[in-house]
Amino acid sequence: MENEYFNELMVLADLALSSDDIPASAIIIDQDQNIIAKSYNNRMKTKTICGHAEINAINDAFQIKTTNNLKGCKIYTSLEPCDMCFGAIRQARIDEICYVIDNNKNTVTKSFALNSREVILKKAGTREQEKIYQTKLRTFFDDNLR
């Protein structure tokens, strides 16, 4: 994964950690490789089930682009998206999902189609990036499961 995107994901993950939430983060990139939206998990803070990083970033992108069609965009995430977020990504018509580490609790297939539209899902994190992010996840779960 490009260092610029990975570094931004880690900054956002730290923001989630600092608000006692799972350090998951997402950024959405347009066709020109510009970051158009970014967010992190705020589910615990807002006490809403939909406070996942991907959904927050998609909602922000809709507002910025004044459309609910993000065709041609990619979403980069720290953690492989859950089923709910996959659904939101499909509905937003995002073309590709790149993530740092697998979601071992809630994983889906590596590509899927909606209305004959394929969305590519690929693990893009390097081993070093995975280790950095795994440390953040461990910090959250170690602190919150005691």
Q: Which of 2, 4, 8, 54 is catalytic?
A: 54
**Distance between CA 43 and CA 66 in Å, rounded?**
25
CA–CA gap between residue 27 and residue 70 (Å, rounded)? 13
Q: Residue 116: which region, alpha, beta or left (left: phi > 0; alpha: psi -120 to 50)?
A: left
3 state DSSP class of 139: helix
**Is 2 noted as a catalytic residue in this protein?**
no
Active site residues: 54
